[in-house]
Amino acid sequence: MIAHRVTARDVGSRHAGMVAAHSIRDAPGAKFLLRKGQIVGVDDLSQLRELDNRELHLVEPETGELHEDEAGRRLARSVAGSGVRLRGPAESQYTLLAEGRGLLRIDEAALFEVNNLDGVSVLTRFDYQPVDEGDELAGAKVTPLVLPQATVLHVEQICAARPPLRVVPFRPGRVSGLILERVASKVRERFRTALERKLAWYGSELVMLLETDGERSYADLLRSALAIGPDLVLAAGASSLDPLEPLFAALDSVGARIVKHGVPVHPGSLFWTAAAGNVPLFGLSSCEMFSEKTVLDLVLPRVFAGERVGRAELARLGHGGMLGREMAFRFPAYAAGDPRGRGN
């Protein structure tokens, strides 16, 4: 890249094809003759000469360098994985958007490798955020007016095998629900409604909701819930603090094993998870039955995106596990028009 300081009246054909290093107006507050980053065309030369003794700064690309438009387009296409589309450019930045509803996944190592190169910037939302169609996920920008082609080729090499961001679509699932305490019919229906609304957001359905009647054992309820071949079982109402809670013996009797009892998240620290073969079972406290901002709403997107939710994954939730109001962006926007999680 060669920088040229030119007096406007001296602009000639040799300057065509150079890049304006600053925006140029024919008078203060008037329209732009050229905007910063715009390539000087042959038709622009006569208007530029009319600026007489105005000083102009132009950049001449050298062999092996790309204009920011081409470099930025290739950068954006490279970092966008499956489920991501492009919009732009606007002021030399491309915006990456979700093609559909799903779970945003960020390859932090690949993202670091790209951003560690001079002249390129890729800024994203956080990993594991549930997103909806059209949500803004990231911005990709080339910062100089021209960029070495070698840098773009390096980006393309990094991203060929592992693009830094992708959206994993949710897979429809069948869910069994258990209420392991006697509750009023109004509470039961409120729970059903809340749960069905959440599951519908993922394209999933509540196929069974069983409630203890004081006669059937917890083991019988669990067997019934598992017999229909669900993708997930949600059990609400048992006391996770009581070591003699009958539910835990019932889990043993149906061949389920506890994966983790308690998670470093509030609200929802008493959450437990077990596995019956390949079927996960989640234990809900009363707050998780109705709230939309608990640990359950952090793990459901992962479950329906086919992500592993094991002991290690739950333990890692402690980083950011204080789910105050400022964390609203991490949760699905279950209600129509809810701005949570949507891009600006």
Tens digits of residue pLDDT in 305-327: 999 999 999 999 999 999 999 99
Listed residues 169, 196, 221: the one ending a domain: 169
Flag whether the pTM goes above 0.85: yes
Count of domains forming the chain: 3
In a domain, 116, yes or no: yes
246-253 vs 218-227: helix axis angle to the nearest 10? Answer: 50
Q: How far apart are CA 18 and CA 58, in angstroms?
A: 6
pLDDT category, 109, cuts 50, 70, 90? very high
Tens digits of residue pLDDT in 246-284: 888 999 999 999 999 999 999 889 999 999 999 999 998
pLDDT at position 337 over 70 = no
pLDDT category, 238, cuts 50, 70, 90? confident
**Bridge partners (DSSP) listed for residue 236:** 179, 284
Of 191, 190, 167, 165, nearest to 178 by C-alpha is 191
- Would you say 152 and 122 are in contact if contact means Cβ atoms under 8 Å apart? no
pLDDT of residue 338: 58
Do residue 165 and residue 178 come from a single domain? no
Do residue 142 and residue 226 come from a single domain? no
In a domain, 337, yes or no: no
Distance of CA 45 to the CA centre of its chain: 46
Do residue 101 and residue 152 come from a single domain? yes
Region of 231 (left: φ > 0; alpha: ψ -120 to 50; beta: rest) is: alpha
CATH of the domain at 79: 3.90.1170.30
Do residue 235 and residue 310 come from a single domain? yes
Q: How far apart are CA 60 and CA 18, in angstroms?
A: 5
Do residue 78 and residue 215 come from a single domain? no
Q: Show the domain range for 196.
A: 174-330
Do residue 215 and residue 273 come from a single domain? yes
CATH of the domain at 302: 3.40.980.10
Do residue 202 and residue 300 come from a single domain? yes
Do residue 134 and residue 197 come from a single domain? no
Tens digits of residue pLDDT in 56-90: 999 888 899 999 999 999 999 999 999 999 999 98
Tens digits of residue pLDDT in 115-151: 999 999 999 999 999 999 999 999 999 999 999 999 9
pLDDT of residue 341: 45
pLDDT of residue 344: 38
Listed residues 169, 204, 235: the one ending a domain: 169
Do residue 302 and residue 259 come from a single domain? yes
Q: How far apart are CA 267 and CA 232, in angstroms?
A: 21
Q: What are phi and psi of 47, to 5 degrees?
A: -70, -35
In a domain, 216, yes or no: yes
Do residue 161 and residue 74 come from a single domain? yes
